[in-house]
């Protein structure tokens, strides 16, 4: 377990360096925003395209895995939603809390870190989990918030969902990569080198950006952030693991990858959604901060355990 912790430590140390840079004002909020844009639109997209272009969708696709991840994630989403309604929250705020409870930082933290810890074979399951998060649950939160506000008719809701998917560079990169792979086109050496160099900036850039963004957080309602962090770091991997290992019989290695992905801290894009819709943004950012800090230990424990499956 100590060996796993020491392997994860450099990743969280990079987040810590970014946090120091943001807190000390060495990196301004504007600089952090531009670094995040570079990682999101360029470096991470290059990494995802290169990964998916070198994989076959037929080999990556696993119906049992997809159903297990959907089942476990939906269960946690439902638990957080029920608790939110019992506390008397409105639909938009409850939707943000449920998103915090069930959606992890797979793109910026999971793929670079878990690829190193679990091996290149983990890329396929992670891409499937990431795609489910982006397509299913990012669409769901748009439906819930816009529907609760009554601003759009049911069919009109499809437009912002479709545009959101088309404008998400991670979705575009994954889809284009699998299309490239499906066409059987080899990646030319100069293009492959270009993608490798640009994609190589994704890991340090993303981790630094996470830390710098967290430095801008002013924690509030820590008890709620603690509950949401418990959902994300404990309940999510627990229910996904139960679904994968016992309900749907997913291959043990792939199940382990799903459990590790589910154990990741709250995704940064939840804050961006909360800020965009002006709903519980501080609550979301506090949950991201707390879950990321706690995940230094919890992710190591989970990865150490799944490595024995």
Per-residue pLDDT reduced to its tens digit, 261-270: 999 999 988 8
- pLDDT tens readout for residues 268-306: 888 888 887 888 888 998 999 999 999 999 998 999 888
Render 165-183 in DSSP notation, one character per residue. HHT-HHHHHHHHHHHHHHT
- 111, 270 Cβ separation under 8 angstroms: no
pTM (two decimals): 0.89
Alpha-carbon distance of 281 to 77, in angstroms, equals 18
> What is the SS3 assignment for 104?
strand
Residue 94, pLDDT above cutoff 90: yes
- Fill in the DSSP letter of residue 186: P
Q: Confirm if 264 and 108 have CB atoms less than 8 A apart.
A: no
Q: Collect all residues with Cβ–Cβ distance below 8 Å to 29 and sequence separation of at least 6.
A: 22, 216
Domains in the chain, start-ordered, CATH in brackets? 2-306 (1.20.1530.20)
pLDDT > 80? residue 159: no
Q: What local confidence, expressed as pLDDT, does residue 153 receive?
A: 59
pLDDT at 152 > cutoff 60:
no
Strand partners, 104: 266
> Residue 222 pairs with which residues in a beta bridge?
none
pLDDT attached to residue 183: 87
pLDDT of 227 above 60: yes
Give the pLDDT of residue 97: 96
Residue 120, pLDDT > 80, answer yes
Per-residue model confidence (pLDDT) at position 54:
87
pLDDT score at 68: 97
Most confident of 27-31, 70-74, 104-108, 303-307: 70-74
197 burial (CB, 10 Å; 0-12 / 13-18 / 19+) is exposed
Per-residue confidence at 70, pLDDT binned at 50, 70, 90?
very high
> How much is the average pLDDT of 104-109?
90
Q: What is the pLDDT of residues 19-40, one digit of tens each?
A: 999 999 999 989 998 998 999 8
Higher pLDDT, 248 or 307: 248
Residue 243: band (very low, low, confident or very high) from pLDDT cuts 50, 70, 90: very high
Which residue reads 């499956």 in tokens? 309
- State residue 24's pLDDT score: 94
Distance, CA of 211 to CA of 12 (rounded, Å): 9
Which DSSP symbol is given to 122? G
**pLDDT value at residue 108:** 86
């Amino acid at each position: 377990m100590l060996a796993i912790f020491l392997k994860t430590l450099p990743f969280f140390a990079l987040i810590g360096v970014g946090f120091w840079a943001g807190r000390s004002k060495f990196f301004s909020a504007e600089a952090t925003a531009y670094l995040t844009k570079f990682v999101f639109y360029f470096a991470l997209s290059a990494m995802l395209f290169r990964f998916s272009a070198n994989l076959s969708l037929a080999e990556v696709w696993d119906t049992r895995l997809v159903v297990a991840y959907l089942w476990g994630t939906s269960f946690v989403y439902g638990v957080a939603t029920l608790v939110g309604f019992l506390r008397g929250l409105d639909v938009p705020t409850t939707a943000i809390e449920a998103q915090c409870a069930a959606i992890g930082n797979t793109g910026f933290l999971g793929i670079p870190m878990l690829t190193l810890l679990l091996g290149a074979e983990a890329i396929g399951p992670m891409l499937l989990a990431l795609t489910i998060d982006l397509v299913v649950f990012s669409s769901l939160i748009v439906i819930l918030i816009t529907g609760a506000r009554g601003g759009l008719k049911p069919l009109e809701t499809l437009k912002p969902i479709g545009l959101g998917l088309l404008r998400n560079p991670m979705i575009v990169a994954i889809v284009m990569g699998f299309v490239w792979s499906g066409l059987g086109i080899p990646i030319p050496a100069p293009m492959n080198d270009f993608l490798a160099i640009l994609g190589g900036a994704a890991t340090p850039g993303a981790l630094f950006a996470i830390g710098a963004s967290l430095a801008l957080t002013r924690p509030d309602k820590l008890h709620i952030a603690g509950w949401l962090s418990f959902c994300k770091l404990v309940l999510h991997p627990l229910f996904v693991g139960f679904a994968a290992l016992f309900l749907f019989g997913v291959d043990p290695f792939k199940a382990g990858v799903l459990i590790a992905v589910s154990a990741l801290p709250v995704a940064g894009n939840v804050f961006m959604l909360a800020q965009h819709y002006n709903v519980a943004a501080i609550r979301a950012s506090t949950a991201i901060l707390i879950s990321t800090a706690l995940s230094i230990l919890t992710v190591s424990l989970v990865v150490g355990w799944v490595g024995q499956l």
